[in-house]
Amino acid sequence: MKIAKTKSRIRELIQGQAIGFVPTMGALHEGHLSLVRESKSRGLFTVVSIFVNPTQFNNPEDLARYPVDLDRDQRMLEVAGCDLVFIPDREEIYPAHNGSDAYIHDFGFLESRFEGHFRPGHFRGVGQVVHIFFEIIQPGVAFFGEKDFQQLQVIRRLVEITGMDTEIVGMPTIREEDGLAMSSRNRRLNKQQRTSSLILHKALAHARQYKDSRPLSVIRQDVAAMFSQEPLAELEYFDIIHSGSFDPAETYIPSTDQRVVIAAYVGEVRLIDNMALD
């Protein structure tokens, strides 16, 4: 496995390759590795970036506390069969302005709903950094997790707006055995918080279980009640939406791509999850 820290070095190392690209912020887990394995299984020269992108953090504390574990990450990537890791520093990605300039692309309703609403500027930062990486690496295929479902839609929109020639592949959410969606942020949970964090998955499972038998308005109330019983967790949003528009659904209609989305704080740690309703 090769390691590149600069744009010029990575350009040298990827020449002539059919590339599968997996952008990450490091502190890797099985969720990330599932994307790497998918890329490898397609016979692609697999490039993983590790870059904690400052422009997508709307909360400076969250950025300061984002876990970093580069040695472990590199060992895991090597075992998973990654061909090349790109670990640029901030100057390499944002040389002129260090990421503070306004970004030109507008992701429409994706920026004002759910994650967009609660994390102002977040998706512009995501779009900005993915655009920069795509221009450097020019991947034929790029892999993203459905764990960040709204982000996946932002990336699809980015490719549409810019006309970049990269296929976007969305991959299923990898979970711990008890249902918690894997996330780099889970490392920051203490034992009690780790137990409380299960409430996110329970809320999603509740919606799936009762979608046929209870009005969605009742399911929303049930979930609010579940959270009121869980002192370590604070619900930010829970909703059942139409996946295409992110509009809240009034009733459950089978096979129409409805989805449950949730965000909650457990202690200081903000967790998100989502699941198809069918």
Name the site residues for ligand AMP (rule: CB under 6 A).
Answer: 24-25, 31-32, 34-35, 144-145, 147-148, 171, 173-174, 181-184
The single-letter DSSP state of residue 251 is: S
User: Is 117 assigned a catalytic role?
Assistant: no
46: exposed, middle or buried (Cβ count in 10 Å: 0-12, 13-18, 19+): buried
**Least gap, CB of 221 to ligand AMP (angstroms):** 28
* Nearest approach, Cβ of residue 272 and ligand AMP (Å): 10
Distance from C-alpha of 32 to C-alpha of 28, rounded to nearest angstrom: 6
The residue (of 216 and 272) whose beta carbon lies closer to ligand AMP is 272
Nearer to ligand AMP, 148 or 239 (CB): 148
Catalytic residue of the set 32, 122, 131, 201: 32
Q: Which residue is nearest to ligand AMP (CB)?
A: 145
Given the complex with ligand AMP, which of 258 and 274 has the nearer CB atom?
Answer: 274
| Min dist. Cβ of residue 48 to ligand AMP (A) | 9
- Say if strands 258-266 and 233-242 run parallel, antiparallel, or are unpaired: antiparallel
Please say whether the beta carbons of 23 and 4 come within 8 A.
no
Which residue, 65 or 218, is less far from ligand AMP as judged by CB?
Answer: 65
* Gap between the terminal Cα atoms of the chain: 40
Q: How many residues does the chain have?
A: 278
Return contacts of 195-201, CB within 8 angstroms, 24+ apart: 196/230, 196/232, 196/233, 196/266, 197/233, 197/266, 197/269, 197/271, 199/226, 199/227, 199/230, 199/233, 199/264, 199/266, 200/233, 200/262, 200/264, 200/271, 200/272, 200/273, 201/175, 201/273
With respect to ligand AMP, which residue has the nearer C-beta, 34 or 153? Answer: 34
Minimum distance of ligand AMP from residue 50's CB (angstroms): 8
Strand partners, 4: 86
Least separation, in Å, of the C-beta of 26 and ligand AMP?
7
Query: Annotated active-site positions, please?
Result: 32
